[in-house]
Amino acid sequence: MTEKVALIGSGNWGSAVAKIVGRNVQNFPHFNKEVKMWVFEEQVDGQNLTDIINTKHENVKYLPGIKLPDNVIACSELKKTCDDATMLVFVVPHQFVAGVCEQLKGRISPNCKAISLIKGMDVQESGHGFRLISDMIQDSLGIRSCVLSGANIASEVAEERFCETTIGYRNLEDGELFKQIFHTPKFRVNIVDDVVGVELCGALKNIVAIGGGLVDGLKLGDNTKAAIIRIGLYEMRKFAQMFYKDVKDETFFESCGVADLITTCAGGRNRKVAEAHVTTGKSFDQLEQEMLNGQKLQGTSTAKDMFNILTKKGLCHEFPLMTVIYRICYEDLPPIRIVEDI
């Protein structure tokens, strides 16, 4: 049977992915050559962004300078984007997932499969105190969802510099199918039987990046930074395996684990703002406004979500790094406590 891909989202990362997926579907006979991409309509220089994308084949607003394949068709209506799709690629900010699923409920084809490229977690009430994005998609739409995550700064991927990524699957066929639309010689996909592990790596890494930035600001050097990254990886793994016993050690050796953590702690806005917190003494809120041009700081909010979960379960003492990072962000603890409290 023929598969048809729809991309739900068209920001920086969504557009980089559109370039890859649009090309890859042309390489296999079992994919429909058209890839619709849902675009939240806005005006750019008096024109609809969808019209610009469909004529210039470039997302001039979110990924300027990168040509998209002609078979990627921007579409401003979510339902129309997805109505004939069998493979849904979710790549919207995590706060929009619930609304997107609500709109799609009952309107997707019965053999549809999904993959989430979204970082973050849903902290509405549930047994665990949080819910995975891939579980939200599965529960809401009644379809299986894979997860893709890795050391993938969007601009570098768009420029086709070599990197790797990880797809976590629940069903090997799904994993192999999604690999076909993402894998290229410059964007290497490994697939692992561990949706939860892959997704939690992507959600939790930004907390550790705050830690990396604090150490940079304190000018403690390479040994200390490597120690913080290592302890961060350890606590990510411990947290994941405490809440989901099937999460595999091996997943943390994949791109979604150690590699993404290294990239996120080397660059990225969480690291940068945390460094500035140390060097300027300003609060994270103030720096977020001054430095991020409207973007949100994920590391601090995820640290808060995690701290709330740990507090409820009485587990803070088992996660000293995550806990002290939260306290530095929200309780005015001196940054040097990052190495004193762990």
Does 282 participate in catalysis according to the annotation? no
Q: Is 116 helix (H, G, I), strand (E, B) or coil?
A: strand
Least distance from a copy of itself to the Cβ atom of residue 153, Å = 5
> Is 154 labelled a binding residue?
yes
Tell me whether residue 23 or residue 186 sits nearer to a copy of itself (CB atom): 186
Selected binder of a copy of itself within 98, 123, 266, 316 (CB under 8 A)? 266
Q: Is 143 helix (H, G, I), strand (E, B) or coil?
A: coil
> Is 223 labelled a binding residue?
no
Burial of 174 (0-12, 13-18, 19+ CB in 10 A): buried
Region of 81-89, 130-138, 167-175, 245-253 interacting with a copy of itself (CB under 8 A): 245-253
- Give the Cα separation of 137 and 82 in Å (integer): 14
The residue among 187, 173, 218 whose CA lies nearest residue 30 is 173
Selected binder of a copy of itself within 90, 130, 182, 252 (CB under 8 A)? 252
267 binds a copy of itself (CB under 8 A): yes
Selected binder of a copy of itself within 32, 71, 140, 224 (CB under 8 A)? 224
Which helix (H) or strand (E) segment holds residue 82: the answer is: helix 78-82
The residue written with tokens 């600001």 in the block is 217
Tell me whether residue 51 or residue 160 sits nearer to a copy of itself (CB atom): 160
- Give the Cα separation of 97 and 102 in Å (integer): 9
Tell me whether residue 60 or residue 262 sits nearer to a copy of itself (CB atom): 262
The count of chain residues that interact with a copy of itself, using the rule CB under 8 A, is: 39
The residue written with tokens 């607003």 in the block is 61
The string over 298-321, giving b where at least 16 C-beta atoms fall within 10 Å of a residue's C-beta and e elsewhere, is bbbbbbebbbebbeeeebbeebeb
* Residue numbers 176-215 binding a copy of itself by CB under 8 A: 186, 188
* Residue numbers 36-75 binding a copy of itself by CB under 8 A: none
* Residue numbers 126-155 binding a copy of itself by CB under 8 A: 151-153
The secondary structure of residue 186, as a DSSP letter, is T
Q: Which of the following is catalytic: 19, 36, 205, 248?
A: 205
> Is 38 labelled a binding residue?
no
The residue among 88, 81, 60, 69 whose CA lies nearest residue 51 is 60
Selected binder of a copy of itself within 222, 245, 294, 317 (CB under 8 A)? 222
Binding residues vs a copy of itself (CB under 8 A): 151-153, 156-157, 161-164, 186, 188, 220-227, 229-231, 233-234, 237, 249-250, 252-255, 258-260, 262-263, 266-267, 339
Show which residues are catalytic.
Answer: 205
